[in-house]
Structure 1
């Protein structure tokens, strides 16, 4: 099959750039879908990021209801195999237990994605139920980092991160319950925004009330793609418990201007956790860069009881995932998770959380409330908090202490291991704040590393505006202009 463009040209375009070519009649949605399909075929044997391509929608991009008049004009899109459902398609959630599970309807966000002109052509890998930090159960699949195949992509938006980084697709779906958009974006060299609470709907099967820590979003390679995705896919479905809001100005317009001089607090000291010396040096370099853009930058430790926050979030995740597994067991007429179909740590989480009381949930919510108030008070003096995206380097594949195939007998010790490396992102989920990972730094081994920025609730546009200012200052050269070892330009 002859492709519509060569791979260097393809990988230099973002989603909005491809959409412009489609609108100008230079290429068609079918041709660009075929390009992505060819990229998956070429690279998936190495990185294992895509579970399935929907060949019928590649052939006929209008088949499932994509609106070609939407802003993305038929640009291909991959869905993470978790959360938002796609009518008639498998959603197996990274679990042997869910093999053959097929969605009966589009979720609300899926409809918004189609209305925005994105053509959903396949699904990407995720760890079981999105609980852990890497999609690597050998009985399901192992997703590899395209920068170095010996390393994880982190997670839980694993396949999306690898697919975007490898140049296969410019934009792909992601979700974030504690950093699952931002962490894999950071270690794969992508842009990953976790939006504020009240931006993307979880309807109809969930809500912000039921699933308070989780958010949806995407990975991209440019700020304008992320801005366009949020502008065109946001909004609440009928019957939302929480208020859904829109800014007075679209993010697409806002990012055209530099932000005002910002007050930026920089810290890697986060509760009991500290980053490694090299990561601190990279954070310091990023802070100097922002100072050079005219912002006020100061090293400050937020006055927040982060120890209490981690304990509350551990409780939240145990209760949330125990309920997720309980619901699946009920649907299947089972009382307990089959040990051969559900991973060991997921079973332990189920056991720990299935009998949690309302009193335990109320205590958790009390800490959430107190933490949110403390951080909001901090944001009265600061516009941005700048941290690393992780406290330690990207783990090698097979680092079982972070995986749900871990044999750690203690659920709480397992979560403590997670907080030790993924220290900085989960506060945004607890408080409903926006957070973004920007590919500005790199590890000692040359792999990419994200610099993480947080803003007060509702200031998503400010994060994107700052990201756009940085992008312009870098002349668009995120990751110092480098590409991964496994990349479509090498096909």
Structure 2
């Protein structure tokens, strides 16, 4: 298979070429490795692999033979070393079983060729762990592809794979999508099973899915993997039709609220605005929506940002405390500066100091936020905002091993970059980042749509319309073979 042909194909097209015999799965895997060999010295996006042969997968799935990578966090594949982006796990810990989503990726036919880089325990908006070094953005290697799914984002944007696993606890699918010119769908809480290792990861903030270059890939893969597994605590209604069909059919007229004002974090507290390129992208998309027949107006949900930030910080730090303690106990090691980054240690120390009363207070804040957002969606079908406050950040700008930051300082550093994404994690609502803008430097800029709980159908239908009206998949990153 010609490498240029490979890098231009999305997963849907590539699967069809394989299904009809125009290309073999082996040829696709060879093309993926050729691209990876060329770009990995620049990107530094892979922590395991490429494997000699792809991991076992169904030959009759909808994406049979399509090269794929999984992120080094939460999801795991049987026998493949798992690092969580941390030196603490040494050479990596292989699990003796697949997580539920990994099983579904295999059943969909995805041919896993490696494991993509993640920041330590996932608590960052960049992917620069001490364990593996910085992962770089194919649009500009001096910039980050975002975090925490930065390795997956870099590999999709560079054409190594057309689709990659990602997860999201505060924006970790959507931020890399925005920084890297990709489609990033964060599903509703419970839509994709986190089993068997988790019930509601991160107090329900964490969800699993993928990064893609096209809406039809997101919709088609979502069709293949969504739904509860036995033992899951959520049973969401099925969509009115397959998600890919909904994306192809397009959207009904919608009521869409638009806001470029930060929703949380230091930018809001200090009265600072987002980067002009991010605001302009939202204004341009709002105008495009009006041309498509939607009702658009300035509006934003009321939010007690101080209480929101305090609760979000406590959830993340308690999660890090539990995760760090669990890994240390399982491996019989003592975390310290030689094995764990300074901000992880600081966040875990703060998390360990919290009481049960502190966490019940968090639940009350999250309940208030969630019910307030539900009331907002009585008037508006969707909320449009920037995905991030900046188009991207420079390598080294956010350093997780900085002992001067502490827990609050690291939280503020992260959410200065991302004052829009965490709301959907707290409410459990679905949200999607689309690469609709371009900065003066030529970098991609993402815009975010969020919807009521369990309404991915509306997001994907509108995303399909926008992609057809303003196509982005032909834009290609400079670090790319083909």
Q: Which TM-score band applies after superposition, normalised by the shorter structure?
A: over 0.9
Equivalent residue, structure 2, for 1:435: 431
* 2:475 corresponds to 1:482: yes
Counterpart position of 2:406: 410
Deviation at 1:8, TM superposition (A): 2.3
In the TM superposition, 1:295-306 aligns within 5 A as 295-306=294-305
Shift of 1:244: 4.2
Say if 1:262 and 1:383, in contact at 8 Å, map to a contact too.
Answer: yes
1:338-417 aligned within 5 A? 338-399=336-397, 402-417=398-413
Asked if 1:445 corresponds to 2:441, the answer is yes
Name the residue aligned to 1:249.
241
Following superposition, the deviation at residue 467 of structure 1 comes to: 0.6
Residue 209 of structure 2 aligns to a residue whose secondary structure is: strand
The verdict on how the C-alpha distance between 1:209 and 1:425 changes in structure 2, with shifts beyond 3 A counting, is closer
1:447-490 Cα offsets, whole Å, 9 max, x none, are 1110111011111111111110011112x334xx431110122x
The within-5 A match list for 1:188-207 is 188-207=180-199
Tell me, in whole angstroms, the C-alpha distance in 2 between the residues paired with 1:138 and 1:321: 17
Give the secondary-structure state (helix, strand or coil) at the position aligned to 2:48.
strand
Instruction: Please list the CA deviations of residues 429-462 of structure 1 after superposition, one character each: whole Å capped at 9, or x if unmatched.
Output: 0000111110010122111110111011111111
Q: What is the SS of the residue equivalent to 2:184?
A: strand
Label 1:277 to 1:56 Cα distance change in 2 as closer, same or farther (>3 A): closer
In 1, Cα distance between equivalents of 2:238 and 2:75: 21
The equivalent of 1:174 in structure 2 is 166
TM-superposed deviation, 1:227 = 0.5
1:311-367: CA deviation from partner (whole Å, max 9, x where unpaired): 211111011111110101111234x41210110000111111123211111000111
CA shift, 1:211, in A, is: 4.1
Q: State how far apart, in whole Å, the 2-side matches of 1:266 and 1:118 are.
A: 37
1:455 equivalenced with 2:451 (yes/no): yes
- Runs of 4 or more consecutive aligned structure 1 residues displaced over 4 Å after TM superposition: none
Q: SS where residue 249 of structure 2 aligns?
A: coil
Aligned residues of 1:408 and 1:414 also touching (Cα < 8 A): no
Cα distance, 1:388 vs. partner?
0.5
- Kindly state the Cα deviation for residue 138 of structure 1 after the two structures are TM-superposed: 4.9
CA distance change for structure 1 residues 208 and 41 in 2, over 3 Å: closer, same or farther? same
The TM-score with structure 2 as length reference comes to 0.95
Correspondent of 2:60 among 57, 69, 73: 69
Q: Distance in 2 between matches of 1:95 and 1:30?
A: 33
Match of 1:61 in 2: none
Q: Is the 8 A contact 2:184 2:434 kept in 1?
A: yes
Mapped to 2, the partners of 1:346 and 1:276 lie a distance apart of 28
Question: Does residue 82 of the first structure (1) align with residue 73 of the second (2)?
Answer: yes
Q: Does 1:145 align with 2:137?
A: yes
Correspondences of 1:317-332 after superposition (within 5 Å): 317-332=316-331
Verify: 1:270 aligned to 2:270, yes or no: no
User: Contact 1:194 / 1:217 at 8 angstroms: preserved in 2?
Assistant: yes
TM-aligned CA distance change 1:209 to 1:38, over 3 Å: closer
Structure 1 residue matching 2:311: 3-state secondary structure: helix
Give the distance between the partners of 1:57 and 1:427, measured in 2 at CA.
Answer: 40
Instruction: Give, in whole Å, the separation in 2 of the partners of 1:233 and 1:221.
Output: 18
- Where does 1:256-295 land on structure 2 (aligned, <5 Å)? 256-271=248-263, 272=268, 274-295=273-294
Q: Does 1:125 align with 2:123?
A: no
CA distance in 1, matches of 2:83, 2:201: 24
Q: Which moved more, 1:188-197 or 1:19-28?
A: 19-28
Matched residues in 1 for 2:406 and 2:135: separation?
A: 26
1:193, 1:226 within 8 Å by CA — same for their partners in 2?
A: yes
- Give secondary structure in 2 for the equivalent of 1:55: coil
Query: Distance in 2 between the 1:92 and 1:138 partners?
Result: 12
Counterpart Cα distance in 1 of 2:65 and 2:475: 28
Question: Is the partner of 2:248 in helix, strand or coil?
Answer: coil
- Superposed CA RMSD in Å reads 1.5
Query: Does the CA contact (< 8 Å) of 1:152 and 1:397 recur in 2?
Result: yes
How much does 1:37 deviate? Answer: 1.2
Structure 2: tracts of 5 or more residues without a match = none
Residue correspondence of structure 1 range 414-429 to structure 2 within 5 A: 414-429=410-425
2:14, 2:131 → 1: CA distance? 37
Equivalents in 1 of 2:386, 2:363: separation in Å? 27
Matched-pair contact (CA < 8 Å) for 1:199–1:245: no
2:342 and 2:450 mapped to 1: Cα distance?
Answer: 34
* Pairwise CA distance, 1:111: 0.4
CA contact (8 A) 1:270 1:301 kept: no
Q: Which residue of 1 aligns with 2:35?
A: 39
8 Å Cα contact 2:6-2:28 kept in structure 1: no
Deviations along 1:384-410, whole A, 9 cap, x unmatched?
A: 1000011134111111xx332123343
